[in-house]
Amino acid sequence: MRGLTVLQSYTIALMCGGNSNEREVSFSSAANVEQALASAGHKVVKVDTANKGFLEELKQLNPDVAFIALHGKGGEDGSLQAVFEHMGIPYTGSGVLGSALAMDKYRSKIIYEALGLKTPRSLRLKRSQRGTHAASHEYVLKIMGLPVVIKPSEEGSSFGITIAKDAKTLQRAVEESFDSGTEVLLAERYVQGVEITISVLGSTELQALPAIEIIPKNEFYDFESKYTEGGCDHIIPARISEKVLAEANRAALVAHEGLGCFGVSRTDMIVDDEDTVWVIETNTVPGMTGTSLLPHAAEYNGISNEELYESFIIWALERAARASL
């Protein structure tokens, strides 16, 4: 981070809003990013991808770089990244493939396992199979047992997550998720332990930021805990042994590289009573709000918001320059 080249003033399209369940979170992230980049002397223009004419806005703006502050579908899943690839606009964060793989919790688990990382056992339930043996809660009970975590396979910010500790709750969680339009669910073995997260930064050289221990006020680190003041406590550095920390750092770095992430990622993990590190998921556009974990970890390491977000821009421009060679 300290060796980064000082930036000139750039025109930045700050991509935010969108149509996902995390629209308001995106606006909150974008507000912090805008403040930091504007104070550093850049021209920052917000572009809401929920507007049908946002592509025309981009063409007219002709930005030097697009800063992605969109969370969830339409911003973190590779679709917007593909648009920028087609338009030839440098953009922050992971590319099309890395974004898509990390967003898909089922496929990212396959990659974790192939890389030798421990991740809780899971079943994939498809809406098209609803009512069949393969998608029934009885099948989940038979294969997984209880307690089990039910979550949408392609959502972020803990949307739609239920920890089912009995059969009735499990059935309701599956049915309500499919009723809401969710296409694919993940039934994941529940692991109890210390929740931690580690952010990874860098382009050609990667840096793991300090591990943060998360103590939510609710049962788990849900949406309310993440984005409500006082919803959880962040302890940094996390209260884990040096041995566990080393393994957690390794897991975060392996997940980042294995999924094909770029620039920034944040991997959430649980450390159980036997000090086993379980990888839960990797986020390619971590929250950048006032209560978010990435800025907190960066600040602890002496990295200001201005330096953090300008580094994303530098790496985006460097990647674009390499691709043009």
- The reply to whether 287 belongs to the active site is yes
List pLDDT tens digits, range 223-265: 454 445 555 799 999 999 999 999 999 999 999 999 999 999 9
Of 122, 85, 107, the residue nearest 258 (C-alpha): 107
- The pLDDT > 90 percentage for the chain reads 75
Residues in a beta bridge with 26:
none
User: Tens of pLDDT along 303-312?
Assistant: 999 999 999 9
pTM score = 0.91
Q: What is the pLDDT of residue 227?
A: 46
More confidently predicted of 125 and 271: 271
The average confidence (pLDDT) of the chain is 90
Q: Would you state the pLDDT for residue 133? A: 45
Is 124 part of the annotated catalytic residue set? no
| Cβ atoms of 217 and 231 closer than 8 Å | yes
The span from the CA of 262 to the CA of 268, in Å, is 17
Which one of the listed residues 29, 177, 265, 283 is annotated catalytic?
A: 283
What's the confidence (pLDDT) of residue 2?
45
**With left for phi above 0 and alpha for psi between -120 and 50, is residue 169 left, alpha or beta?**
alpha
- Which one is catalytic: 153, 157, 177, 305? 157
139-149 pLDDT, tens digit per residue, is: 888 899 999 99
Which of 34, 64, 77, 268 does the annotation list as catalytic?
A: 268
* Closest of 157, 122, 101, 112 to residue 251, by C-alpha: 112
Residue 156's pLDDT band, with cuts at 50, 70 and 90, is low
Mean pLDDT, residues 254-280: 98
Q: Which of 104, 155, 281, 310 is catalytic?
A: 281
Report the residue count for the chain. Answer: 325
227 is annotated as an active-site residue: yes
Of 5-9, 33-37, 90-94, 163-167, minimum mean pLDDT range: 5-9
Section 292-299 average pLDDT: 96
Catalytic residue among 72, 98, 160, 287: 287
Q: How confident is the model at residue 183 (pLDDT cuts 50, 70, 90)?
A: confident
- Is residue 281 annotated as a catalytic residue, yes or no? yes
